[in-house]
Chain A
Amino acid sequence: MTVSGFPRPSRRVRPFTPSQESAAEQSDRTVGREETLRILVDRLVSAATSGNRAHSILVGPRGSGKTHVLNVAIHRAQQRPEVRQRLRFVRFDEDAVGITRYSDILQEVLSALSPSRSGSRRAALPFNPEEAIAEALGDQVLVLVIENLDRIFSVFGEGGQQDFRSWVENSRQVMVLATTPLLFPGISDRALPWWGNFGISHLEELNVEQGRELLIRLARDAGDTALADFLATDKGEARLRAINALAGGSPRIWMILSECLTVELLDELVPAVEALLEGLVPYYQQLLWDLSPVEQRLIRELADGPQQAATVAELAKAAGVEQRVAASTLGRLADIRWVRAEKVPELDKRSTWYRLREPMLRHHFHYRSAADQPLPLIVEILRAWYDPEERRAQLARAKPGSVLERFAAASLCGQSSRFSVAYLDRDLKALQADARTWLHGGASESCTPEAGSLIDLAVAAARSGPVPAADLIRTRCLDGSTGAAAGAIIIHAGTQDGASSEADRVAELIRFAAGVTEGRTKKVLELESASWCCETNPGQAADQLVVLTASLPPDDLLALDARQRWAWFTALADDPASAQEQCEALVADCVRLFGPDDPDTLKARFQWAFYTSLAGDAGAARVLYEALAADTARVYAPADPSHASIQLQLALVALDLGEPVRGINHARAVLNSPDPQAAELTMWAAEVIRLSIDRLLSGDAAQISDSNDPDAQLAATLQAAIAGSAEALVRLPSELVEIVESLRASSETVGSG
């Protein structure tokens, strides 16, 4: 089966019947429920080892994982021998039928406890069934596992509940472990017998991190390492955030998603959401069937109606239901988490607005009715919102002043680095995206919106010419001085040499802009001007940046940015030792200002190590990279690209130090990186491996550092074999013998020649 031409995966989870799955497997993949599980397991163990019978009930809507948690709690408790010996579990599943009286409970328990009665479940009860159960139990404790206790209590009525409680109290051998989709009077009404008898645990939805962890575990279980690796990346997380915004955090929805997910589907996102909708059909059908006709009409109206949210009066009218009935029904639907009730302070405070809790339900109705649906557009918006790379690209290409531009800029605020790095590759799109972020208030601590406007204008003018760029001034509604500077830029753009590159024209316009502005905007433009104008003369750039740094307070973010750029241009100007020194001081300031685990601090440490290596101190560079690798591993996910970058640098450092075996190991780590975007690094890593092998085969390695390292031993054996050792040749893995023999033959030929 395919969705939109994408292959569908096949997995083994049972989102609708978790009771049919192996509890051990469920336990292994459980996420986000550890605290509740710990409480339940403690209580079961306590029941097995003492007279405590802490009745417990899990409350959560359908699909929240109640059955799963019960299974896992019982499984984990049963790992204890005392639990296996002393507790007898009798289970009433969620679809148990025919339990309408207190005596039905006794009947079922007796059938479960007495094998002789198992063939005759409806055999007459003994005169005193409670006593018969006590006899069957002996000194064991009965754990009654009852799903959907609300239904059972509802048909029992108060009398049945009283009988049930008196049995539990008198027997002293019964513990009740139950579930319910919502709190119900039987346990929440103080006037009823079971009030206050249960420890109540509410199962909340899984957040994105927990959902991602669940999907990764499921993908690994299914052997889909590519998907597991992709899910661990930032892009994978971004896609899941988009889906979470649509579908909410019900564990069952995450499970259904796992059933229809591949890397390709998830990356494209729209097909993944379509596949999820397809997978959700039976789920929503079942849920809807469980609702009363009035409830169904109200839900349908919310899902199909023209508005996402509506008042009771509107819904009652649209659904043809009496308003009083609609109000009470919507209250219940809110209790069981179908709808969300909201008061809007700006509107009539007496009105309550209702909307569907899961946006996906609305799309389910559209999907089923094959109606025109805005879903692909919504998914695209979500996809862009949660993916920083996508947002930057979107920001650069958005029409100035458009909603899309504001949307993309707003979504990037506070999420990107404090420092622009567009100058490194002279990437105009990246520069424009940064400028538009500043324009909309991003990086407000260092850059001004005015600087953002003028740089954006400079890029537009360099690319499209002065006339189209002039329109931008009107769009941006610039203030007096900025407007004047913008006009000057447009005029200057008209004098530019069309033969020079776009980047050069932009650089020149920024320098010009710096000359006609004042204050902080001027400083920002000077920073970019120095970074963009001096491609062929890095020394000059460094000099300008020194002057700029001196003119700013030491802890100013712009000063830190300038120092970072100064180090870069100093290194380019063949003075890596000064760059190293500068960067060391910069790292200290970053740690002080941002903290040791801040992404910008870690980037500064990378640069410090890099310049140290360039300065020729490979040993010191290795120490810095290794410390950075350890901290990065602690701070970032395994698939973060920074790991592969550090490993590649460590490989290069190892080569510098004449340790090709270590070089190969580090380079191999890059090849094995789960970051799918590490293609360029992978190419470099392959090159490092080739170089290292050359060094090894030529016997050029300075030393084989660790005699216990199997790789080092292999390298030593290889070198000895190439040098002519017969013993080494014998010890060599057979697959390498042919290579060594041909090398020896060629060297003999060269020698004899």
Chain B
Amino acid sequence: MLYNVLDVQQICRMFMAMIATQVVRPMSTNPGGVVDPADLIGRGRELERLQRSVNTGGAKLLGDRRMGKTSLLRALSSSLDEAGHTVIRISAESKDPEKFGRDLVAEMRRNRVLRDHVRRWEAELGGELKVNVGVGGLRLTGKATRPRVDVEDDLFRACADACHHLRPYRLVFIFDEITALASRLGQLVPGGPEEFLRSLRAPRQELSGISMIFAGSVGLHHVLSEQSPVNDLDPVTVGPLSQSDALYLGRCLLRGIGIPEVDELRVAHSIVEQTCAIPFFIHRLVQDLAERGANRLLEADIVAMVDDALRDDRWEMQHYRDRIPRYYGNDAELARAMLDEYATADQPLTVENIVDRLSSTELAQQARRPKVLNLVDRLEDDHYLVRVGAADRFATSLLRRAWLEMKR
């Protein structure tokens, strides 16, 4: 029996090795920094979905922090640009809408299609170009160096006109961290986020040839009271890498730090297993290995390192527990209890399972089906849970392991 199990494990590993057919090359660790699109491993399926969405107006990219959304957007930008589309990719993570406007102008000036138009607009609008950012939308205006300060134009309309001759290629705006800007506008004007995002929806619907991709560390559902401003966008979720891509990434990083090649596949496999194929943690773990200066490594070393990281909270997983009161308010206690149930269950749990399990606890009164169902949806949106058929389980076994550690 034991031999059979070992054989299966061995065959699985060989299979993993076979499908990781890309040429392993040394890569340096980069946990959380800017990744060159050429070094982005995997994400082919997500990239394809995003590319396809461009033809239908765009997409909203969903995923937990450090899952690789920004890197994916960079690769998307690069591929769309190569395909002939005009792409403006910009991070909207700023407390200052004016700064966002400056960044947007700078980005347009860098763009090979729009830069000539920027000069023309500056001539027409009077002086250096500005983008006014408000809940009503993004408007082009000239710096007040001439008397014609009242001249304004809608940014998207102006850009659409400028790119009209390029059709069927499209003008694609990629707004990373859009929720940060929307939140900021919400602080300035009640209902600001909805109004602002609605102002971005209008050009997608009214102007031909414009697409938008949104992404944000904070989920749109935390910023918008209702989803209509973005419900025309395809949801594309980015999660852990596929096993084969994660294995390939692990091997490249291990090659980069000089782990003996004889250990590479075995160690990479263990790393992927322990990190649930999340690229950020793969990078962090390999960096830790590099700092240890380890020569020969055992699977047990990797397991011990992850155990230590979770026990000492070096991977900052406590945040998932700490943010619950902020996210779920009066339902925080119920949400935490539900997660405790999911963490201790061996199988995915349905809503009924949860109601049943909590029925004998102090929370029985609160744990009614509609509320539990609503919380399950929110816990999915916040990347705690994932749906498996009609049931749910923790999004990753790593998070589940961390949750159990924190619960202890």
Q: Which residues of A contact B100 (CB under 8 A)?
A: 166
Q: Which of A191-199, A312-320, A474-482, A661-669 touches B?
A: A191-199
State whether B256 touches A42 (Cβ < 8 A): yes
Q: Which residues of B contact A43 (CB under 8 A)?
A: 28-30, 33
Task: Check if A221 is an interface residue, CB within 8 A of chain B.
Answer: no
Q: Which residues of A contact B66 (CB under 8 A)?
A: 195-196
Task: Check if A34 is an interface residue, CB within 8 A of chain B.
Answer: yes
Task: Check if A158 is an interface residue, CB within 8 A of chain B.
Answer: yes
Encoded as 1 (CB less than 8 Å from any B CB) or 0, chain A from 215 to 248 comes to 0000000000000000000000000000000000
Task: Check if A622 is an interface residue, CB within 8 A of chain B.
Answer: no
Given contacts A127-B143, A131-B109, A189-B319, contact A39 B30 (CB under 8 A): no
Least CB separation from A176: chain B residue:
B33
CB of A131, distance to nearest CB on chain B (Å): 4
Q: Which of A44-52, A302-310, A388-396 touches B?
A: A44-52
A160 CA / B94 CA spacing, docked (Å):
8
State whether B102 touches A198 (Cβ < 8 A): no
| Max chain A C-beta neighbours (<10 A), residue from B32, B34, B102, B293 | B34
State whether A166 touches B99 (Cβ < 8 A): yes
CB of B289, distance to nearest CB on chain A (Å): 10
Task: Check if B287 is an interface residue, CB within 8 A of chain A.
Answer: yes
CB of B130, distance to nearest CB on chain A (Å): 8
Task: Check if A577 is an interface residue, CB within 8 A of chain B.
Answer: no
CB of B222, distance to nearest CB on chain A (Å): 12
90-132 of chain B: CB within 8 A of chain A: 90-96, 99-100, 102-103, 105-107, 109-110, 128
A158 CA / B106 CA spacing, docked (Å):
24
State whether A199 touches B33 (Cβ < 8 A): yes
Task: Check if B37 is an interface residue, CB within 8 A of chain A.
Answer: yes
Task: Check if A35 is an interface residue, CB within 8 A of chain B.
Answer: yes
State whether B290 touches A51 (Cβ < 8 A): no
Q: Which residues of A contact B32 (CB under 8 A)?
A: 55, 196-199
Q: Which residues of A contact B107 (CB under 8 A)?
A: 170
A159 CA / B187 CA spacing, docked (Å):
13
A201 CA / B292 CA spacing, docked (Å):
11
Least CB separation from B128: chain A residue:
A127
19-41 of chain A: CB within 8 A of chain B: 34-36, 38-39
A348 CA / B35 CA spacing, docked (Å):
51
A35 CA / B290 CA spacing, docked (Å):
6
Q: Which residues of A contact B292 (CB under 8 A)?
A: 35
State whether A39 touches B287 (Cβ < 8 A): yes
37-69 of chain B: CB within 8 A of chain A: 37-39, 65-66
Task: Check if B180 is an interface residue, CB within 8 A of chain A.
Answer: yes
State whether B33 touches A170 (Cβ < 8 A): no
Q: Which residues of B contact A191 (CB under 8 A)?
A: 319, 323
State whether B28 touches A46 (Cβ < 8 A): yes
Task: Check if B328 is an interface residue, CB within 8 A of chain A.
Answer: no
Q: Which residues of A contact B36 (CB under 8 A)?
A: 50-52
Residue from B34, B93, B103 within 8 A of A52 (CB atoms): B34
Q: Which residues of B contact A56 (CB under 8 A)?
A: 33
Q: Which residues of B contact A50 (CB under 8 A)?
A: 36, 38-39
State whether B70 touches A169 (Cβ < 8 A): yes
Encoded as 1 (CB less than 8 Å from any A CB) or 0, chain B from 160 to 192 comes to 000000000000000011001000000000000
Task: Check if B150 is an interface residue, CB within 8 A of chain A.
Answer: no
14-37 of chain B: CB within 8 A of chain A: 28-37
Q: Which residues of B contact A39 (CB under 8 A)?
A: 28-29, 257, 287, 290-291
Q: Which residues of A contact B103 (CB under 8 A)?
A: 130, 166-167, 170
Q: Which residues of A contact B94 (CB under 8 A)?
A: 162-163, 166
Residue from A52, A128, A162, A189 within 8 A of B30 (CB atoms): A52
Encoded as 1 (CB less than 8 Å from any A CB) or 0, chain B from 64 to 84 comes to 011000100010000000000
Interface size class, chain B: 35 or more
Task: Check if A165 is an interface residue, CB within 8 A of chain B.
Answer: yes
A159 CA / B184 CA spacing, docked (Å):
10
Least CB separation from B91: chain A residue:
A169
Least CB separation from A131: chain B residue:
B106
| Max chain B C-beta neighbours (<10 A), residue from A167, A189, A190 | A190
Task: Check if A720 is an interface residue, CB within 8 A of chain B.
Answer: no
A189 CA / B36 CA spacing, docked (Å):
25
Task: Check if A188 is an interface residue, CB within 8 A of chain B.
Answer: yes
State whether B95 touches A159 (Cβ < 8 A): yes
Q: Which residues of A contact B30 (CB under 8 A)?
A: 43, 46, 52, 54, 199
CB of A32, distance to nearest CB on chain B (Å): 10
Q: Which residues of A contact B323 (CB under 8 A)?
A: 190-191
Q: Which residues of B contact A175 (CB under 8 A)?
A: 33-34
Given contacts A35-B291, A127-B128, A130-B106, contact A54 B28 (CB under 8 A): yes
| Max chain A C-beta neighbours (<10 A), residue from B30, B33, B91, B105 | B33
State whether A166 touches B291 (Cβ < 8 A): no
A202 CA / B284 CA spacing, docked (Å):
13
A162 CA / B92 CA spacing, docked (Å):
9
A127 CA / B257 CA spacing, docked (Å):
44
Least CB separation from A126: chain B residue:
B128
CB of B355, distance to nearest CB on chain A (Å): 30
A163 CA / B37 CA spacing, docked (Å):
24
| Max chain B C-beta neighbours (<10 A), residue from A170, A172, A188 | A170
State whether A166 touches B92 (Cβ < 8 A): yes
Least CB separation from A53: chain B residue:
B34
CB of B192, distance to nearest CB on chain A (Å): 17
Residue from B92, B128, B283 within 8 A of A199 (CB atoms): B283
CB of B369, distance to nearest CB on chain A (Å): 31
A167 CA / B176 CA spacing, docked (Å):
12
Task: Check if B346 is an interface residue, CB within 8 A of chain A.
Answer: no
Residue from B99, B128, B176 within 8 A of A169 (CB atoms): B176
CB of A590, distance to nearest CB on chain B (Å): 28
Q: Which residues of A contact B90 (CB under 8 A)?
A: 170
Encoded as 1 (CB less than 8 Å from any A CB) or 0, chain B from 351 to 390 comes to 0000000000000000000000000000000000000000
CB of A690, distance to nearest CB on chain B (Å): 50
State whether A169 touches B316 (Cβ < 8 A): no
CB of B63, distance to nearest CB on chain A (Å): 13
Q: Which residues of B contact A470 (CB under 8 A)?
A: none
A35 CA / B289 CA spacing, docked (Å):
10
A-B contact pairs, 18 of them (CB 8 A): A42-B256, A50-B39, A51-B37, A52-B34, A54-B28, A54-B31, A55-B32, A160-B95, A162-B180, A166-B100, A190-B65, A193-B180, A196-B65, A196-B316, A199-B33, A199-B283, A200-B31, A202-B291
**Which 4 residue pairs are nearest across A and B when measured between Cβ atoms?**
A159-B95, A51-B36, A54-B30, A53-B34
Apart from the given pairs A52-B30, A54-B33, A169-B177, 20 other A-B contacts in the complex at a CB distance below 8 Å:
A34-B293, A35-B292, A42-B256, A43-B28, A43-B29, A51-B39, A128-B102, A131-B109, A162-B93, A169-B70, A169-B176, A170-B90, A196-B32, A198-B33, A199-B29, A199-B31, A199-B283, A199-B284, A199-B287, A201-B287
Question: Using a CB–CB distance below 8 Å, which chain A residues touch chain B?
Answer: 34-36, 38-39, 42-43, 45-46, 50-56, 127-128, 130-131, 134, 158-160, 162-163, 165-170, 172, 175, 188-191, 193, 195-202
Question: Using a CB–CB distance below 8 Å, which chain B residues touch chain A?
Answer: 28-39, 65-66, 70, 74, 90-96, 99-100, 102-103, 105-107, 109-110, 128, 143, 176-177, 180, 217, 256-257, 280, 283-284, 287, 290-293, 316, 319, 323
